[in-house]
Chains A and B, each alone.
Chain A
Amino acid sequence: MARTLVVQLARLGDLIQTIPAITALKMADQTRGLDLLCPSLLTPIGRLIPGVDRVLEWDGTVWHRWAEEASHDLSPAHLEQATKQLEALASHQYETAYVLNHHRRALLAASLLADEVRGSVLDGPLGTTLSPWASYVREVALTGRGSRVHLADAFCGLCGVPPPGRPPVLKQSSPQLPLPLEPIGRRGEPWVGLIVGAGAAERLVPTETWKTWVVRFLEAAPAGRVVLLGEERERGRRIQDLLPSSLLGRVWDVTGRTSLLDLVTILRRCHSVIGSDTGPLHLAAAVGVKVIGWYFARAGVHETGPYGVGHVVWQAEDSNGEGHRERTNVQPVRWPIEETVGLLVQGQQFKIAPRVPGWSVWVSHCDQWGGYYTEVGGRFGPPLEREHLWRALSPSIIDGSAVGAT
C-alpha cells in the first residue's frame, strides 16, 4: 500500500488548520495509508486527528543540539546520527509527502523521508517556484488583500484535493482529568473557557479587559463558571488578582498547568470558548465546541477564523472601514464585552449577535468549497470568490459533488 506523509512542523494553530486537508486526502482515497510528521510537543493532538495512522515526532531540540555541535565541528558522525534519527522515525521511504507550510526545514525533512514532495514549492527543497496555492497564500500574507478562502482549505489545495465539505472533529481522548481539575464542567452552567494568551504579543487582549469580561459574565450568569486556559500562567494569575474575591470560587485558573490532552478534555467540557486568534481557540473549534473569537491586529476572520459551523467572530475594523480587507495592525479602541456576554447568557442566537462600533460580526459555515464566514445581519450568502479561485487554481480536482453544511 502506498503511504503518504503530511508534514506540518509549525505551531498548534497550523496543525489544527491541517485537519481538513488530512480528512480530504483520506476521503479522496480511503485505502491510502496516511502518516503525519509534526513537532514532538504536538503529537498528542496529531494522534487525535481522524485519518492519521501514525504520528512521527519531530524533535527540534535534538536537531538544534546537533546543529550547534556541527557548526563547531562538522564530522560524518553528525550526518550518521541524523540519518539514524530519520530511520527511527520511519523505517520505509514514503511515496509522497505533502508539505503544508513554506518553511525550508519542512521541505528538507519531507525530501529526506519521501520520494516525491508536493505542496508549497514545485522545484525541490531549494526551489523558489511556488505552487499556485502557495502563491495565493503568500500573496494574501504579503499584500494583505482580503481572502475568502480559508487557510485550512488552501492547505487542501496544496494537497491537490477539494475541501472535505464538512468540518472534521478530533477523535475522543480520555474523558478523565487529573483529580484537582476533575470538577471542571461538572457543576454550574454555562462553563466558558477563556484563552488568556496569544502566540504573538499584538494579539494579546489586555488582562484588564479579560477581567472586566469575566466580572460581567459572572454577574450576568449566576451559575456560570470560567476556566482560564493557555500556557501563560502569569497572565492567568494577573487576571485572578484583578478579580473581586467574591467571584474567585467560580473562576478556575489552569493556565500553564495542563497537558495538551487535558486541554482537549477541558475544552470538551466547556459550553463555549472565547479568545483571540490562537492555537487553543482553533483546538476548541476542532473538538466541536462553539467558539467566539475576537480578531484584531493582523488576524483576519476569512483566512484563519475557527473552522466549522456556528462559530462567531468579532472582527476589529480598520479606521478606514476596510477592516479585515486590509492587513494592518488594527488595535481596538473598545472591546465587545457586553455583546459577547449577552450572546452567551441571554440565549441570543449567533445570527443576531449585536454589533459593536469598530467591529463587524461574522458567523461560520461550511460547504463544498470549504469553510467561510458571513456577516451577521448581512444580505450576502456564500462568497463566490471561493469557487472561482478553486476553478482557477485547481481546475482538475473540482467536481462539485461535495455536500455542504451550514
Chain B
Amino acid sequence: MSHGSENLEKLGRRDSALVEAVRSAAGSVLSLTPSREGSVTAKYGDRWVHSSYDPRKEARVWADAQLKEWKDQEIGVVFGVGLLYHVESLALLKPDGRRLAVIVPDVSVLKDALGARPLGPWLETIEWIWGKPADMARHLADLGNPLRFMTYASAASLHEAVHREVEASLRQMVAVRQGGYLRIAVVGPIYGGSLPIARYVTAALESLGHHVIWIDHSVHHTSYERFNSYRDVRHRLTMQGRFAEILSLDTVARLADDPPDLVLAVAQAPLTAGVLDHVRKKKFLTVMWFVENYRHLTYWRQLASGYDYWFVLQQGDCVEALRKAGAAHVHYLPMAANPQAFYPCSLTETERREYGADVSFVGAGYQNRRALLPRWLSPEWTFKLWGNEWEGAADLASVLQRRGSRIDTETCRKVFNATTINLNLHSYNGPSLDPQADFVNPRTFELAACGAFQLTDDRSLLPELFTDQEVVRFRSPDEVPHLIRRWLHDHEARRAVVEAARRRVLAHHTYRHRMEELLAVIGLRQPDRIGAILRGDRNAGALAARAETPPELETLLDRFPRDQRVELKDMADEIRTKGAGRRLAREELLILLLDSYRSETRDLV
C-alpha cells in the first residue's frame, strides 16, 4: 500500500468526507524534493514551504515556540498545511488531552502532504477544518473551547486570503457571542481630529457594556496652546514635547489608579516610547488605533514596537511598514460613524438658509482642496465652504463661511443635512487627487450616517465598505461638475443612494462595530486573557461551573450574580466586606493573601 493510501485510511477514521474530497482533488500544488538530510521537502513555485536542509528540525523549533504560549483548555488551530511536518511535531510534543485543529484552505495541498511521506497515528488525532471560509469559521466557533492560533508562515502564506476570510468570519461570530466585559482605558489626544473619534470610541465601548476609563487629555489643551506664544520655535517644540511627556506620565498614574485589562490609545495620544515600554513591562496590554494617514504622520516609526496591537486605516504597505518597524500585530480597521452624533435631522427654515446649499464642502484647507474646489464653483449651483485653515485662498473667499473658523460636530451635521450634494475630497498635500488614495475618511461614514448625499474621490478601500449604489465616486476632477449636474436635480435617485448608504453604515460601519471587531481580534490572539473575559469565562457562573472549582470557592462565587465578572480583587473585596469578625475559610485566606501581593504589582509611577 502506498503512503497516500495508508495515510488516507488513517484520515478516514477521523473524517471520511475529507477523504472523499482529497480523492477528488487534483493535487500537485507543491513540488516535492529531497532535503539535504534526506527527508522530503516542498516548494511552492520558487518558495520553500519547508526547510531545504532539515524540515523536521525546523518544524520542531516552531512547535517548541508554540507550546510556550499554548495553555490547557485551548484548542490549537494551525494555519498552514505544507507537508504537515510542523503539525506532526506539535501533535507529538503536546501534552495529552490537548486538541489540535488544522485549517485546510485547499484540499489539494493536503493531498500532496498525504502522498509525500508516511504519517503516524497522530494523523487520526487532528481535527480537520475545511470547506468554505464561513463554514470553517463556524466550525471553529462551535468547537466550544478557547482557540490558540498558530501560523506556520511559509505554508500559510499560500492561502493568506482564505485565512483572513476565516478569521474575519470568526471575529464576527465571536463578537456577537460576547458574554463578558472588559475594563478598558481609552487614552485620547490633547486636541485635533482624533479627539472626537476617541470620544466616539469611548461611547461605543460603553454601549457594548465595557467599563471604560476615559483618560481625557483635551482638558490640557489650553495650557498646551499657550506654548505657541513663544517667539522661538525651538522653545515651543521643547516645551510642548516636555508637556506631552508629563501627560504621558499622567496617563501612567491613572492606569495605576484603576488598572484596566487593556489600554486603547487613539492616534496622537500623548504616550511616549519610554512610558509604553514601562507600561508593557507591567503587563498591561496596549493597543493603538492609528486613525491617521501613515504617510503623512510618521511618528508610528518610533512607537511601532511600543504597542502590542496596532489598528490602522490602510492595508498593504502600511501594515508591512509597521511590521518592519517592530509592530507585533497590525490589523486593518477602517473608520466609522457615530449615529448618535451624525443622523438625519429636520432643520428650521432659518437653519436651512444658514447651512443649506446646492453644493458644500466641509474641511480644512489642504493643498489639493485649494487647487480643486475653485474648479467646481459654478453659476449653475450655490456653493458653501466650511472649515478652517483657508487663509490666502482668494478664489474661495466668496464661498467661505464664518470666515474660516473651525466648526463643531453639530454644525457639521446640519451642513451635511442641509446640503443637496456634499463634496468629500480626502486631504492630500498635492495639487490634485491623492495618487495613493487608499483609506476612507470619517466624513464618508458620517455623511452616510446623516443620510446626506456625497460625491467622494475614489479610494482603493472604498468598494469593500460601500457599493456604487451607496456612495457615488469620482475618479478625476473633471468628472465632478458632470456628476453635480447629474445628481443635483434628481431627488429620487439621490434618496435611493443615501438610504442605502445609511442602512449600510448602521449595519456595518459604526464605532460599535469597529470596537467589536477590535476586541474580537485581540480576543482571538489572547484567548487566555482578553478572549477569556470576552467569552464570559471570568463570570461568576462560569468560574463556579468549572469542574476543578472546590466547593468552598463555589460558595464564595455564589455571592456574585452569575453574569458578573469576578476577579481576584472582587473576591477579596467581597471577603473583606463580609468576613470581618468571623473565622475565614482557608480559600478566603488564600485569596486575601494573593490579593495583598496583587495590590503591589501595579507600582507604576
Q: Name the B residues within 8 Å of A68 (CB-CB).
A: 283, 597-598, 601
CA distance A138 to B546 in the complex (A): 44
Within 8 A of A (CB), among B158-199: none
Contact between A67 and B598, CB atoms less than 8 A apart: yes
A64 adjacent to B591 (CB under 8 Å):
no
A379 lies within 8 A of chain B by Cβ = no
Which of B569, B571, B581, B592 lies in contact with A108, CB distance below 8 A? B592
User: Are A126 and B579 in contact, with the CB atoms below 8 A?
Assistant: yes
Interface residue SS majority, chain B: helix
Closest chain A residue to B566, Cβ basis: A74
The minimal Cβ–Cβ distance linking A216 to chain B, given in whole angstroms, is 41
| A145 close to B (CB within 8 Å) | no
A67 touches B594 (CB 8 A): yes
Write the nearest CB–CB distance from B530 to chain A, whole angstroms: 10
Q: How far is the CA of A74 from the CA of B592 in the complex (A)?
A: 12
* A142 proximal to B (CB < 8 A): no
Asked if A112 is an interface residue, CB under 8 A from chain B, the answer is yes
A75 to B557 Cα, complex, angstroms: 12
In the complex, how many angstroms separate the beta carbon of A109 from the nearest chain B beta carbon? 7
| Contact present for A104 and B592 (CB under 8 Å) | yes
**Cβ of B124 under 8 Å from chain A:** no
* B102 CB within 8 Å of chain A: no
| Contact partners of A123 in chain B: CB under 8 A | 580-581
A70, B567: Cα distance in complex, Å: 8
Per-residue B-contact encoding for A39-65, CB less than 8 Å = 1, 0 else: 000000000000000000000100110
In contact, B590 and A112 (Cβ under 8 angstroms): yes
A74 with B543, Cβ < 8 A, contacts A64-B600, A111-B589 known: yes
CB distance from B340 to the nearest CB of A (A): 33
**Bound CA–CA A66/B582 (angstroms):** 26
Residue pair A82, B590 in contact (C-beta under 8 Å)? yes
- Tell whether B549 is near chain A: CB-to-CB under 8 Å: yes
Check A83/B590 contact, CB under 8 A, given A64-B601, A73-B528, A105-B596.
Answer: yes
A76 — which chain B residues lie within 8 A by C-beta? 546, 548-550, 553
In the bound complex, CA of A71 to CA of B566 (Å)? 10
Report whether A63 and B593 are in contact in the complex, using a CB–CB cutoff of 8 Å: yes
Contact of A126 among B584, B590, B601 (CB under 8 A): B584
For the complex, what is the distance from the CA of A109 to the CA of B592, rounded to whole Å?
10
Interface membership of B529, Cβ < 8 A = yes
Task: List chain A residues, Cβ under 8 A from B566.
Answer: 74
Does B56 make an interface contact (CB < 8 A)?
Answer: no
Q: Are A67 and B595 in touch, CB under 8 angstroms? A: yes
Chain A residues, Cβ within 8 Å of B568: 67, 70-71, 74
A108–B589 contact, CB under 8 A? yes
Q: Does A77 contact B (CB under 8 A)?
A: yes
Question: In whole angstroms, what is the CA distance A76 to B543 when docked?
Answer: 9
The verdict on A79 contacting B553 (CB below 8 Å), with A112-B586, A125-B589 known, is yes
Interchain CB contact under 8 A, B598 and A104: no
Check B583 against A72 for contact (C-beta < 8 Å): no
Docked complex: A100-121 residues within 8 A CB-CB of B? 104-105, 108-109, 111-112
Residues of A within 8 A of B589 (CB): 108, 111-112, 125
Q: Which residues of B contact A355 (CB under 8 A)?
A: none
CB < 8 Å neighbour of A78 from B569, B575, B594, B601: B594
Number of A-B contacts (CB under 8 A): 98
> A124 interface residue, CB < 8 Å from B?
yes
Interface range for B: 35 or more
Residue of A nearest to B569 (CB): A71
Q: Which residue of B lies closest to A108 (CB)?
A: B593
B575 (CB) vs chain A CBs: closest residue:
A126
Expressed in whole angstroms, the Cα–Cα distance for A40 and B376 within the complex equals 79
B587 proximal to A (CB < 8 A): yes
Q: Which residues of A contact B3 (CB under 8 A)?
A: none
The verdict on A125 contacting B584 (CB below 8 Å), with A68-B598, A79-B590 known, is yes
Please indicate the chain B residues that have their CB under 8 angstroms from the CB of A256 in the complex: none
A72 to B548, CA, bound (A): 18
B548 and A77 form a contact (CB under 8 A): yes
**CB of B538 within 8 A of chain A?**
yes
B-side contacts of A79, CB under 8 Å: 550, 553, 587, 590-591
Instruction: Find chain B residues with CB under 8 A from A74 CB.
Output: 538, 543, 566-568, 571, 591
Residues of A within 8 A of B584 (CB): 111, 124-126
The reply to whether B601 and A71 form a contact with Cβ atoms under 8 Å apart is: yes
Residue on A with the closest CB to B285?
Answer: A72
Interface pair B567/A124, CB less than 8 Å apart = no
Q: A108 to B598: give the CA distance in the assembly, Å.
A: 14
A15 to chain B, nearest CB (A): 20
Per the 8 Å Cβ criterion, residues 114-150 of A in contact with B are 123-128
B residues less than 8 Å from A104 (CB atoms): 592, 596
Instruction: Tell me, in angstroms, the Cα distance from A67 to B567 when the chains sit together.
Output: 11
B contact residues around A73 at 8 Å (CB): 528-529, 532, 538
A66-B553 in contact given A75-B546, A124-B581, A124-B582 (Cβ < 8 Å): no
Chain A nearest CB from B550 CB (Å) reads 6
**Shortest Cβ distance from residue B568 to the other chain A in the assembled complex, whole angstroms:** 5
Is B576 an interface position by the 8 A CB rule? yes
A70 contact set on B, CB distance < 8 A? 568, 594, 598
In the docked arrangement, what's the CA distance between A60 and B596, Å? 11
CB distance from A34 to the nearest CB of B (A): 23
Q: Which residue of A lies closest to B576 (CB)?
A: A126
Contacts of B592 in A (CB 8 A): 104, 108, 125-126
Given known contacts A66-B597, A79-B587, is B580 in contact with A126 (CB within 8 Å)?
yes
For residue A128, which residues in chain B have a CB less than 8 angstroms away from its CB?
A: 580
- Given the known interface contacts A70-B568, A76-B548, the answer about A105 and B583 at a Cβ–Cβ threshold of 8 Å is no
Task: Tell me the minimal C-beta distance from B255 to chain A in angstroms.
Answer: 14
| B594 CB contacts on chain A under 8 angstroms | 63, 66-67, 70, 78, 82
25 sample A-B contacts, Cβ–Cβ < 8 Å, listed by A number: A60-B597, A63-B597, A66-B594, A71-B567, A74-B538, A74-B591, A75-B543, A76-B546, A76-B549, A76-B553, A77-B548, A79-B591, A82-B594, A104-B596, A108-B596, A111-B584, A112-B586, A123-B580, A123-B581, A124-B582, A125-B589, A125-B592, A126-B576, A126-B584, A126-B592
Interface set of A (CB-CB < 8 Å, partner B) = 60, 63-64, 66-68, 70-79, 82-83, 104-105, 108-109, 111-112, 123-128
New contact pairs (12) apart from A68-B597, A70-B594, A112-B586, CB-CB < 8 Å: A60-B597, A66-B597, A67-B594, A67-B600, A71-B567, A74-B568, A78-B594, A105-B593, A109-B593, A126-B581, A126-B592, A127-B580
